[in-house]
Amino acid sequence: MRIKPLFRLCVVVSAILSTSLSSAASPEEAAKLLPTELRAFKAIGGPKALTAGDPRITNLVSAEQREYRSDKNERVLVTIVKTKSDSSAYATLLAYARGVSNFLTELKLGGVVGTRSLELPNELMFFKGSSYVSVRSVRGINHAELIELARALAAGLDNGEGDIPVLVKHLPDWQNAESHVFYALEPAHLKSFAPNQPVLDSVGFDGGTEAVSTLYGETQMILVEFTTPQLATENDQRTLAKIQELRTSGQPVPTVYRRVGNYSVFVFNAASEQAANQLIDQVKYEQVVQWLGDNPNWLKQAQKQYTETTLGVLVTVVKTSGLAAMVCFGVGGFLGAIMFARRRAQQTDANAYSDAGGMMRLNLDEMTGQTDPSKLIGSGISEKS
């Protein structure tokens, strides 16, 4: 009777071991990420694994470092950090970038190499897919060559989603706000963004929660995304209770807090509640529903698509017909006006007398002088030869 529980325990332990072993990069994989030759540079020794525990690295899988030297004795140090996700690599890039700046400094992030990159006088940092990479000049290498080496390394990395985390794009005016952005996938990182705000203690990071923080002048916004409505509801209830507790005890609270879909939105140090609410109003939660099997509403969807297509064709035909009619009337009116003006000019220049108001008349009374008698109709009496 005890064999089954023991067997189940062995299965669980083996599954955990296999998962942990598969999550770590093997030496062969590290060698591919850090080749022995990089353009005109050759490796000095093999890759060296970095010690774990660096607080700037989020969801670490493995981290390797290798030094390269050229024939001109130029030397460069390359660091590659493999993480569990694209957002983890993005957060690691921002954390390393903040290590050479401060909270208020704008990060001039660009797309020179990888998905996002940061150029420094003697170093280039970038992330691509789930990898964070640093290429740093040790001796004699110029900035242009540094960029080319970084591009050579980026060519061998998986592209992942090929974009920054979508949560960043849900910030108001995110293109400009990204220069002050922080990204967190752990509670400690989130609290470091706003160290004097105890309300953040109520935010849980179970189930893959992610958070982003940025500045709008003196105002700070923190946007937390939960993966399910249940987690969002539980955290919302805890946060509201925490705010009430802090307000009662006279401790600092957010200017405004609000739940938006599966987001928890905090605004600190705003000029007023109205300004904070206007900022939160710009946050839009986009819900995506995907059927794992066949869509049971396929008939309604097909009917809707057919109706929209038919209406689109009808509107296009009406627009095209109206445009064609306008063009025809316009061209016809223009040409008619030109012909009318020309005829009027000809009538004005004519010196012949007419008692018909300038109109053409028959010469029945033979009073009008003829200029071409050959064109007159005869009397009808045939001439005898």
- Tell me the pLDDT tens digit for each residue of 121-140: 888 999 999 999 999 988 88
Q: How far apart are CA 384 and CA 368, in angstroms?
A: 29
Cα 237 from chain centre: 32
- Whether the pLDDT of residue 362 is over 90: the answer is no
For residue 20, report the phi and psi dihedrals to the nearest 5 degrees: -65, -35
142-165 pLDDT, tens per residue?
A: 888 888 988 988 988 889 998 999
3-state secondary structure (DSSP) of residue 66: strand
| Residue where a domain terminates, one of 257, 280, 303 | 280
19 CB burial (10 A radius; 0-12, 13-18, 19+): exposed
pLDDT score of 16: 34
Q: Are residues 193 and 235 in the same domain?
A: yes
Shared domain for 232 and 269, answered yes or no, is: yes
Rounded CA-CA distance 115/129 in Å is: 8
The model's pLDDT over 262-283, given as tens digits with 9 standing for 90+, comes to: 999 999 999 999 999 999 999 9
Q: List the single range of 50-54, 82-86, 123-127, 333-337 with lowest mean pLDDT.
A: 50-54
- Domains: count for the chain: 2
Do 213 and 267 lie in one domain? The reply is: yes
At which of 235, 254, 280 does a domain end?
Answer: 280
Q: Give Cα separations from 117 to 90, 94, 110, 113, 123 (angstroms).
A: 10, 10, 5, 6, 11
Shared domain check, 173 and 140? no
Q: Do residues 252 and 208 both lie within one domain? A: yes
355 is a domain residue: no
Closest CA to 191 of 224, 148, 218, 227: 224
Tokens of 352: 């012949």
Residue 25, token pair as written in the block: 């990069």
228 lies in which domain range?
A: 166-280
Same domain, 144 and 171: no
Nearest-5° Cα angle at 124, 121 to 125: 135
On whether residue 196 sits in a domain, the answer given is yes
User: pLDDT by residue (tens digit) across 66-97?
Assistant: 999 988 888 999 999 999 999 999 999 998 88
Instruction: Determine the distance from the C-alpha atom of residue 262 to the mean position of all C-alpha atoms in its chain, rounded to a whole number.
Output: 20
- pLDDT band at 210; cut points 50, 70, 90: very high
CB-CB contact of 254 with 286 (8 Å): no
Percent of the chain at pLDDT above 70?
78
pLDDT-derived band of residue 301, with 50, 70 and 90 as boundaries?
A: confident
- Of 285, 287, 288, 279, the closest CA to residue 173 belongs to 279
Same domain, 139 and 89: yes
- Looking at per-residue pLDDT, the higher value among 32 and 266 belongs to 266
Give me the pLDDT at residue 302, please.
81
Assess if residue 39 is contained within a domain.
Answer: yes
Domain boundary, last residue among 280, 295, 314: 280
